[in-house]
């Protein structure tokens, strides 16, 4: 019986928030400021891990924003989002962290980050965080 309990108390190592690579994010000039353009990026392969067990969380992350003077460079966004891969972070915190990092970089008119995480234990999670200047 003791070995069975050990089997279910496994925990994988997780990275801390310091592993989130905000330094990779780059912006590009937006040539149509004031045009009320809405930009949406969908990232269907987002992964992070549960901070307590280290088990993976998989989901689709959607970023929608109205740029003011800057756009996010897509390769840098992809690398930044991939840096969450082994970070122990709650699903509800992911969207807020991404929102804060992109608002700091872009200073947009508005920005929404939504994450729809795959069900784990029979429960799926949909989280949304909004920014309005």
Is residue 2 one of the residues assigned to a domain? Answer: no
The residues carrying an active-site annotation are 50, 57
The percent of residues above 90 in pLDDT, for the chain, comes to 84
Q: Which helix (H) or strand (E) holds 74?
A: helix 74-82
Q: Domain limits at 71?
A: 12-132
- Rounded Cα distance, 71 and 84, in Å: 21
Q: Which whole number is the average pLDDT over 64-84?
A: 98
Which of 3-12, 27-36, 62-71 has the weakest average pLDDT? 3-12
Assigned domain for 108 exists: yes
Q: Could you give the 3-state DSSP secondary structure of residue 60?
A: strand
In a domain, 6, yes or no: no
Nearest alpha-carbon partner for 58 in 73, 69, 47: 47
- pLDDT given for residue 80 in this prediction: 98
Grade residue 6 by pLDDT with cuts at 50, 70 and 90. low
**How many domains, in total, are found in the chain?**
1
Indicate whether 42 belongs to any domain. yes
Whether 7 maps to a domain, the answer reads no
- Across all residues in the chain, what is the average pLDDT? 93
| Residue 132 Cα distances to 42, 67, 78, 110, 112, angstroms | 20, 11, 24, 4, 9
Banded pLDDT at 8 (limits 50, 70, 90): low
Characterize 91-104 residue by residue with b for buried, 16 or more Cβ atoms within 10 angstroms of its Cβ, and e for exposed.
Answer: beebbebbbebbbe
Q: Cα–Cα distance between 131 and 133 in angstroms, integer?
A: 7
Q: Residue 75 burial by CB count (10 A; 0-12/13-18/19+): exposed, middle or buried?
A: exposed
Residue 2 has pLDDT above 70, yes or no: no
The pLDDT of 68-74, averaged and rounded, is 98
Instruction: Please state, in angstroms and rounded to a whole number, the distance separating the CA atoms of residues 105 and 27.
Output: 7
Residue 4 resides in a domain: no
CATH code of the domain covering residue 61: 3.30.1130.10
Please report whether residue 3 resides in a domain: no
Taking only the tens place, the pLDDT of each residue in 95-110 is 999 999 999 999 999 9
Assess if residue 82 is contained within a domain. Answer: yes
């Amino acid at each position: 019986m003791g070995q069975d309990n050990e089997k279910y108390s496994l925990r994988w190592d997780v990275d801390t928030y310091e592993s989130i690579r905000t330094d990779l994010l780059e912006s590009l000039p937006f040539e149509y400021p004031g045009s009320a353009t809405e930009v949406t990026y969908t990232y269907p392969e987002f992964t992070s891990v549960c901070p307590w067990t280290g088990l993976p969380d998989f989901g689709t992350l959607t970023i929608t924003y109205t740029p003011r003077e800057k756009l996010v460079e897509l390769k840098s966004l992809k690398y930044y989002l991939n840096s969450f891969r082994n970070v122990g972070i709650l699903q509800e915190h992911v969207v807020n962290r991404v929102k804060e990092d992109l608002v700091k970089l872009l200073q947009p008119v508005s920005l929404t980050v939504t994450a729809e995480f795959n069900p784990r234990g029979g429960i799926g999670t949909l989280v949304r965080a909004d920014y309005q200047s």
